[in-house]
């Protein structure tokens, strides 16, 4: 009988100890999973905010550039007004360009960061330079050619935005599948 009680006590202690250790391990694993999931959701939210900020400023700059181009044959007062709007968005872009590039590199990829810096941004600068030289009278812009360049730039901006959104959607889907 004492032997049976000893076996029962040892079995109870081993079961309690092993069960407690397993419970602790599973609880710790679940807590880590919850922490990681919260972090992934936060990163996804931050990536969405970066997309919205970059998309808005790219669209604003594109539209202000178009408005400036459209005003070239409509009188100096309108040109000055639209030039002021154009310069305001260029100043906003320039004030934030390094932060925007860093955010794109961190939340998306170096490839997307380079697309803004070397392709889209370079085309904005080239078109803007032509427009400002035309306004100053140091050169004559071909309005039709600039309009075509702006159309191509708009397509590039659209493709860029679409790429960002697809990446965000893929992350969101991966997070849902992980749940």
pLDDT tens-digit series, residues 72-84: 888 788 889 999 9
In a domain, 105, yes or no: yes
The residue count of the chain comes to 179
The answer to whether the pTM exceeds 0.85 is no
In a domain, 117, yes or no: yes
For 119, residues 6+ apart whose C-beta sits below 8 A from its C-beta are 156
On whether the CB atoms of residues 135 and 78 are closer than 8 A, the answer is: no
Predicted pLDDT of residue 29: 80
Radius of gyration in angstroms for the set of CA atoms belonging to the chain, rounded to a whole number: 29
Work out how many domains the chain is built from and give that number.
1
> Which domain range does residue 96 map to?
43-178
Predicted pLDDT of residue 117: 92
Residue 170: CB atoms within 10 Å: 10
In a domain, 37, yes or no: no
Structural tokens at position 30: 């679940």
Predicted pLDDT of residue 179: 62
In a domain, 130, yes or no: yes
Regions of the chain where pLDDT drops below 50: none
Predicted pLDDT of residue 1: 72
In a domain, 22, yes or no: no
């Amino acid at each position: 009988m004492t032997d049976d009680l000893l076996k029962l006590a040892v079995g109870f202690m081993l079961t309690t100890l092993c069960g407690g250790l397993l419970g602790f391990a599973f609880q710790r694993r679940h807590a880590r999973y919850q922490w990681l999931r919260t972090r992934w959701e936060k990163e996804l939210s931050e990536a969405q905010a970066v997309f919205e900020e970059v998309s808005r400023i790219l669209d604003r700059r594109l539209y202000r550039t178009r408005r400036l181009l459209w005003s070239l044959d409509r009188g100096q007062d309108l040109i000055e007004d639209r030039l002021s709007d154009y310069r305001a968005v260029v100043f906003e872009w320039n004030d934030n360009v390094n932060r925007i590039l860093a955010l794109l590199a961190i939340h998306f990829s170096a490839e997307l960061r380079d697309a803004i810096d070397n392709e889209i941004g370079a085309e904005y600068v080239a078109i803007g330079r032509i427009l400002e030289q035309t306004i100053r009278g140091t050169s004559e812009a071909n309005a039709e050619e600039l309009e075509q360049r702006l159309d191509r730039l708009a397509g590039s901006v659209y493709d860029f935005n679409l790429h960002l959104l697809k990446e965000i959607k893929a992350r969101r889907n991966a997070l849902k599948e992980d749940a």
